[in-house]
Amino acid sequence: MKNILVTGGAGYIGSHTLLELIKAGFRVISVDNYYNSIDLSYQLVEEITGAKIKKYQLDLADKNDVEIVFQENQIDGIIHFAALKSVPDSVANPIFCYQNNNNSTLIIAHYANKYNVKNLVFSSSCSVYGNVSPEDLPVQEDTPIRKAESPYAYSKQNGEVFLKSICEVSNLKVFALRYFNPVGAHPSGQLGEFPSKHSNNLVPIITQTAAGIRDHMTVFGDNWNTRDGSCIRDYIHVTDIALAHVLALQKLFHPEWNNQFEIINLGSGKGVSVFEAIKSFEEVSGVKVNYKMGDRREGDVEAIYSLPQKAKRVLGWEAQYDVNDMMTSAWQWQLKLIELGFNLTKI
Ligand SMILES: NC(=O)c1ccc[n+]([C@@H]2O[C@H](COP(=O)([O-])OP(=O)(O)OC[C@H]3O[C@@H](n4cnc5c(N)ncnc54)[C@H](O)[C@@H]3O)[C@@H](O)[C@H]2O)c1
């Protein structure tokens, strides 16, 4: 049985990936400092899988703290999720963002090298493509990288550059997975993203509005050059994202896989507009969403969606869940959060 170190395992995508790794027969070790998560996500994964997660609470950006994880465990592969993901927070405090996101990546790479761990999956983001223009769509892995729109996006561009150059001079093999817009919750409705003041994503805002936690939500602009005037994004179910990580690790472990650094887009390939997302939610939940129209937000991109062919070709991965599945699971999870006593001020 192979041991996988998952950084940021208590977080949204990390916890769903722990679950799929356990189901696929891996033993998992997780590190998180709970900056944007809570211990309860581990408990929920343990309840669903019946497995025990070995976990460490420490700061991956602090080199002295991290070595113990490598000393105490024989690690076969690493999935490096841990990062601060809030774009507005990164604009407000870019140095903190770089210190956290880039130092943690370098520290993980340092110990991977020292302890001879050769396989790593890195959480990257479609934000590395910058402000894509309509002629760049659909976005492919070789679509030109434009100027990053935020320190967060720079931190992901930097992470990729560091890892690629480390791969060139070592035996480290890396998949950098560029996620589009992960949403939804585990199909059981028993695991999902805990509400956070650092999160500003559309789907939790929809479900919180429907649940009455928010009085209303705002749609930023109905005059974009899109089919219904609202922005278009490539939403992808979090379980599909998690499964892609399992496949990426299995590929890295395959004796014939010798590529050192590969970038792969993880998207559904289908753009969904804000109005379409709201409509899908209303259909599957039977609950009306109280939304108001607002002005365009500075920094928003009109439309971005992927061409996920490389993921299919290299990993044998494609999205299994559609937007209705995303909304159904997100609503189930919202109801579970209410049952657990969570509201926005609790985290
Ligand atoms: N969710 C998205 O929309 C999205 C999109 C593209 C890329 N990503 C990337 O995917 C990864 C996971 O995202 P997520 O949505 O699960 O975010 P998340 O905030 O839920 O999870 C990240 C986890 O990392 C932990 N963490 C952060 N810095 C740490 C540190 N220094 N030491 C230890 N733990 C630390 C946080 O406490 C959190 O539990 C991140 O790298 C993020 O940038 C996310």
What atom in ligand 1 is closest to the CA of residue 80? 41
Using DSSP bridges, classify how beta strands 173-179 and 119-125 pair: parallel, antiparallel or unpaired.
Answer: parallel
Question: Given 152, 179, 235, 305, which residue is catalytic?
Answer: 152
Ligand 1 neighbourhood includes 333 CB (under 6 angstroms): no
The token pair at 258 is 């010798």
Ligand 1 neighbourhood includes 37 CB (under 6 angstroms): yes
**CA atoms of 184 and 340, how far apart (whole Å):** 18
**CA atoms of 104 and 79, how far apart (whole Å):** 12
Amino acid letter for position 106: L
At 197 the pLDDT is 73
Lowest mean pLDDT among 11-25, 270-284, 288-302: 288-302
Burial class (CB within 10 angstroms; exposed 0-12, middle 13-18, buried 19+) of 279: middle
**CA atoms of 220 and 29, how far apart (whole Å):** 40
At 345 the pLDDT is 53
Q: Which residues pair with 273 in a beta bridge?
A: 232
More confident residue, 198 or 14: 14
At 300 the pLDDT is 81
The Å distance, Cα 103 to ligand 1 centre, comes to 14
Mean pLDDT of the chain, nearest integer: 95
Ligand 1 neighbourhood includes 325 CB (under 6 angstroms): no
Mean pLDDT score, 315-334: 98
Residue 228, CA atoms < 13 Å, CB-side half-sphere: 14
Cβ neighbours of residue 169 under 8 Å, at least 6 residues apart?
none
pLDDT band at 344 (very low <50, low <70, confident <90, very high): low
What atom in ligand 1 is closest to the CA of residue 124? 7
The CATH number of 3-183+236-266, from 3.30.70.360, 3.30.360.10, 3.40.50.720, 3.40.50.880, is 3.40.50.720
pLDDT band at 347 (very low <50, low <70, confident <90, very high): very low
Amino acid letter for position 255: P
Ligand 1 neighbourhood includes 207 CB (under 6 angstroms): no
Query: Percentage of the chain with pLDDT > 90?
Result: 92
Residue 152 falls in the annotated catalytic set: yes
Using DSSP bridges, classify how beta strands 272-273 and 232-233 pair: parallel, antiparallel or unpaired.
Answer: antiparallel
At 198 the pLDDT is 66
Q: Where are the domains of the chain?
A: 3-183+236-266, 185-233+269-306+321-340
At 346 the pLDDT is 43
Probe residue for ligand 1, chosen from 12, 18, 160 as the CB with the greatest number of ligand atoms within 8 Å:
12
Lowest mean pLDDT among 96-100, 130-134, 170-174: 130-134
Query: Percentage of the chain with pLDDT > 70?
Result: 98
Ligand 1 neighbourhood includes 66 CB (under 6 angstroms): no
At 329 the pLDDT is 98
Using CA atoms of 24, 29, 32, 33 in order, give the dihedral in degrees to the nearest 10.
Answer: 160
**CA atoms of 233 and 282, how far apart (whole Å):** 18
The token pair at 79 is 């999935």
Mean pLDDT score, 53-72: 97
Amino acid letter for position 47: E
At 153 the pLDDT is 95
Separation in Å, CA 294 to CA 212, 221, 326: 20, 6, 25
pLDDT at 324 over 70: yes
> Distance between the two ends of the chain, CA-based, in angstroms?
35
Per residue in 116-129, pLDDT tens?
Answer: 999 999 999 999 99
The Å distance, Cα 81 to ligand 1 centre, comes to 5
Q: Is the peptide bond before 204 cis (omega within 30 degrees of 0)?
A: no
Ligand 1 neighbourhood includes 179 CB (under 6 angstroms): yes
At 68 the pLDDT is 98
At 342 the pLDDT is 85
Crossing angle (nearest 10°) for helices 274-285 and 323-339 = 60
Separation in Å, CA 39 to CA 20, 46, 92, 202: 18, 11, 27, 24
CATH superfamily for 185-233+269-306+321-340 is UDP-galactose 4-epimerase, domain 1 (3.90.25.10)
Count other C-beta atoms under 10 Å from residue 263's C-beta: 17
Lowest mean pLDDT among 223-227, 318-322, 338-342: 338-342
pLDDT band at 290 (very low <50, low <70, confident <90, very high): very high
pLDDT band at 131 (very low <50, low <70, confident <90, very high): confident
pLDDT at 200 over 80: no
Q: Hunting for tokens 């001020």 — which residue is that?
A: 345
